[in-house]
Amino acid sequence: MSRPVIGIATQTLEAIPGELPPCWIMGQKYVHALRSSGAIPWLIPLIPDDLSTLREIYQRLDGIFLTGGVDVDPSQYGEHRASYCGRTDPPRDAVEIQLIRWSLVDRKPILAVCRGIQVVNVALGGNLFQDVASQRPGSIKHDYFPTKEAPARDYLAHSIRTMQGSRLRAYLGEAPVLVNSMHHQAIKNLAPGLVVTAVAPDGVIEGVEGSNGHYLLGVQWHPEELTDRDGGMQELFTSFVRAATPVNP
């Protein structure tokens, strides 16, 4: 067997006059989590207007990993932007949605975290809360974003409950699991082809999987920050890499 190549779409960093031209960036922790799990990470440029090149990149991949980042633009699910919607990156939306749709056809494994679970839902026809606190009264706090005063990305903010028979239950166990939480958007209406596999105490969807056996797994938290302390979080990456590993004839 050879090591699987896992694609990771980047995110736009706007030009800083006098300092930087426009850049494509991605957090190192995602790359290291995949690399240490046996994968070869491949960072993907945001080129939605060059589908032939994007397709050539896609064809060299064994799986797709979708990371956290800025908000999914509401235009992608047919809504107008509300005042509480944050910064968006339309080229990233377009590239990730295209990669997801190609992967669904070819049944390439997908692992999605935080923003990733949201863009999967949108790609399959669902929509999002543009801001959980504003649109879902009674919700607990989910937006524990790091600051200079409290920079920890591994802070365990709340529990989740996994569903019986799910991959998440197999990896994380039956008992409530504590997770970190760095999001203000979340799945609103679940897309066809997905099933809910984890929820927060307030009912916000924290995990989804594909309904047809395809390895499609999304979580609303950031397991890449927890792999060194929690074997179940590491298993999310290990199982994904295993599913994406090509078997030589």
249 within domain boundaries = no
Reported as a single tens digit per residue, the pLDDT across 66-77 is 999 999 999 999
pTM for this entry: 0.96
pLDDT tens digits for 39-53?
999 999 999 999 999
Query: For residue 63, what is the domain's CATH number?
Result: 3.40.50.880
Tell me if 71 is assigned to some domain: yes
Task: Please write down the HEC assignment for all residues of the chain.
Answer: CCCCEEEEECEEECCECCCECCEEECCHHHHHHHHHCCCEEEEECCCCCCHHHHHHHHHCCCEEEECCCCECCHHHHCCCCCCCCCCECHHHHHHHHHHHHHHHHHCCCEEEECHHHHHHHHHCCCCEECCHHHHCCCCCCCECCCCCCCCCCCCCCEEEEECCCCHHHHHHCCCCEEECCECCCEECCCCCCEEEEEECCCCCEEEEEECCCCCEEEECCCHHHCCCCCHHHHHHHHHHHHHHCCCCC
- Do the domain assignments include residue 216? yes
The per-residue pLDDT for 21 is 96
The answer as to whether 194 is a domain residue is yes
Q: How many domains does the chain have?
A: 1
217 within domain boundaries: yes
Q: Report residue 1's pLDDT band, with 50, 70 and 90 as the boundaries.
A: low
- Which residue range is the domain that position 228 belongs to? 5-244
Residues serving a catalytic function are 114, 222, 224
- Asked, for residue 187, whether it belongs to a domain, the answer is yes
